Amino acid sequence: MIIDIKEKPASHCWVVCMDALKVNFNTLGEAQAFVGQLTARIEAPHVWPSGASLAGAALKDIARSTDKNQVVGTRSNQSVVLLPD
């Protein structure tokens, strides 16, 4: 991701550009603080989830968004029956 700060001369504000996304700030200090926090979060260590935990999380999300007693198809073409609690 390309992160850049540009001044908008006509409106006297600062724009942080993140690829195609642009966020306006009133001062250069606000823009720099935002970029600093964003950069710190991007560079922070992240734990890569395992395949099993991803599949389990996906099924939980599906179960939360559907009605009880429905049959839900998964990406592997298996069916999972959702039973009432």
- Report the phi/psi class of residue 77: left, alpha or beta, with left for phi > 0 and alpha for psi in -120 to 50: left
CB 82 within 8 A of CB 68: yes
29-81 pLDDT, tens digit per residue, is: 999 999 999 999 999 998 877 766 667 777 777 666 655 555 545 555 555 55
Q: Quick one: pLDDT band at residue 25, thresholds 50, 70, 90?
A: very high
* Block residue for tokens 């908008």: 8
- What ranges make up the beta strands (E) of 1-85? 3-8, 13-18, 21-25, 71-73, 79-81
pTM for the structure as a whole: 0.51
Looking at residue 6, its pLDDT comes to 85
